[in-house]
């Protein structure tokens, strides 16, 4: 079968409070960068595969 792996794990930072420096960087966006991987994956599947 196929295996898809990413390091570091993008799901580790889906909300700003998951970021290791969130208390020292209040300007971090509410949605973490890792969340966009999943948002874009769902968008692609809906638009291209369904």
* Residue 3 lies inside a defined structural domain of this protein: no
Domain span holding position 37: 10-49
Q: Tokens in use for 20?
A: 């290791």
* Residue 40 lies inside a defined structural domain of this protein: yes
The pTM (predicted TM-score) of the whole model is: 0.60
Exposed, middle or buried, 1 (CB in 10 Å: 0-12/13-18/19+)? exposed
* Residue 5 lies inside a defined structural domain of this protein: no
Q: What's the pLDDT score for residue 11?
A: 77
Give the count of domains, the chain: 1
* Residue 4 lies inside a defined structural domain of this protein: no
Tens of pLDDT, residue by residue over 5-46, are: 877 777 788 888 888 888 998 888 888 888 888 899 999 999
Q: What's the pLDDT score for residue 47?
A: 97
Cα 33 to Cα 27: distance, rounded to the nearest angstrom: 14
CB within 8 Å of 37: residues ≥ 6 apart:
6, 10, 11
């Amino acid at each position: 079968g196929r295996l898809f792996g990413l390091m570091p794990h993008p799901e580790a930072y889906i909300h700003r409070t998951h970021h290791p420096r969130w208390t020292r960087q209040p300007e971090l966006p509410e949605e973490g960068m890792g969340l966009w991987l999943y948002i874009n994956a769902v968008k692609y599947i809906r638009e291209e595969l369904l």
